[in-house]
Structure 1
């Protein structure tokens, strides 16, 4: 696998992992005990930290990509194994 392909696949895993990680560890302003901003939705997060979320996303994406790459190298699961209509 070319390094450009590996990088593109890793970035896809990173974006996918962001959607997996996004709901965890988020508290609303009511849960945090902070006053809401006028016009703010009740479900809006309080004190959202993109850096912390990006760090968590990077860890999850790296683990998922490592599993994907090891499967690519060792061939644990192949396309033939997933052909259920043969």
Structure 2
């Protein structure tokens, strides 16, 4: 597995993890009782993006390490993946 492959796995895991982390602990402006004029009531009151990016990066690094370890150890190879359903 090359450095490029590891970076691609990290980028994919980062974005997947970001979309999981974004709604966690989110309160809308309507729930907070302070709707800013011109914004939808469901818009986030306090997005806390810096914290979410840090959490996303940590989890993406952990998941990338697990995936790369499994691939490099030989537990999962391309030959094991049966795409066409043929044995």
Give me the whole-angstrom Cα distance separating, in 2, the residues matched to 1:19 and 1:41.
20
Give the match for residue 85 of structure 1.
86
- 1:29 Cα deviation (Å)? 1.6
Count of aligned pairs: 85
1:54-73 equivalence runs, <5 A: 54-73=53-72
After TM superposition, the score normalised by the length of structure 1 is: 0.81
Pair 1:18 & 2:25 matched: no
Q: Which residue matches 2:31? A: 31
The unaligned stretches of length 5 or more in structure 1 are none
1:39 match: secondary structure: coil
After superposition, the CA RMSD in angstroms is 1.7
Task: Give 1:12 shift.
Answer: 2.1
